[in-house]
Amino acid sequence: MRIPAHAVCTAIRDDIVTGVFEPGSRLTEELLARRYGVSRVPVREALRTLESEGFVTTRRHAGACVAEPTEQEAADLLELRLLLEPLAAARAARRRTDAHLKVLRGLVRLGRERARQGQGEDLRALGGWFHETLAQASGSPGLIALLTQLRHKVAWMYAVQLPAKPAESWAEHGAIVDAVARGDAERARALTAAHAERAGEAHRMKVHRAGAGPVRTSQPAVNMSSGRH
């Protein structure tokens, strides 16, 4: 069965974001194909997509390499988030469905419960799902795609500290959902902007080791049919 390029793209992106492939390291088609158990064709297509997204760059005499973002590029990401997430929340107030509201309220309920229990890793995942669902509720495919790519890049470039007072953070999430449920676009925008600005203070740029050399081949091949993507 031919593995689609988008699945290979997701796998490579995940490995870049999690640091398996460090900034500056080479990404050769042969070694990537071996790692993911696919032919070089979907790898080539995936690398082109990742280059357009800014995760990969092509160097003369070196070929494809993991990009090495600057501090300014990292700072720009948080600024973009401050613009786009409030826009998504405002659109969600106008376009959300009952299904979106049900999911958002369920996530807030779980977030508040986990905050009381001090389950940090659960809160990290729930926060990601909340903002992904809020973006989906905007009903704007272009905006959803931009925010999805933005989340990947923020996760790649930043380490995020959990809020010192997680219950307050989830109270903010709850207030955003209330505004969306009432159809109050301006309040949803304002609350999300304030929340994003506070959340941005918990981001610390990761220290990457550039020029890590070629991708290691000692890692086991990834089973692309396992539903990883």
What pLDDT, on a 0 to 100 scale, did the predictor assign at position 224?
57
Tell me the H-state helices in the chain: 5-17, 29-36, 40-53, 71-95, 98-117, 120-136, 141-157, 166-182, 185-200
What dotted CATH number matches 1-67+208-229?
Answer: 1.10.10.10
Q: Which amino acid is at 103?
A: V
What pLDDT score does 146 carry?
94
**Matching CATH number, 71-205, of 3.30.230.10, 3.20.20.10, 1.10.3720.10, 1.20.120.530:** 1.20.120.530
Q: Give the model's pLDDT for residue 206.
A: 81
Residues 229 and 217: their CA atoms lie apart, in Å, by: 21
pTM of the model: 0.80
Quote the pLDDT of residue 14: 95
The full set of domain ranges for the chain reads: 1-67+208-229, 71-205
- The rounded average pLDDT for each run of 10 residues, N- to C-terminus, in the chain (229 residues) is 82 94 94 94 95 92 90 92 96 97 97 86 88 97 94 90 84 97 98 92 70 44 49
pLDDT reported for residue 211: 43
For 65, phi and psi rounded to 5 degrees? -140, 155
pLDDT, residue 164, reads: 74
pLDDT, position 20: 94
Confidence (pLDDT) at 217: 39
Residue 225: per-residue pLDDT: 52
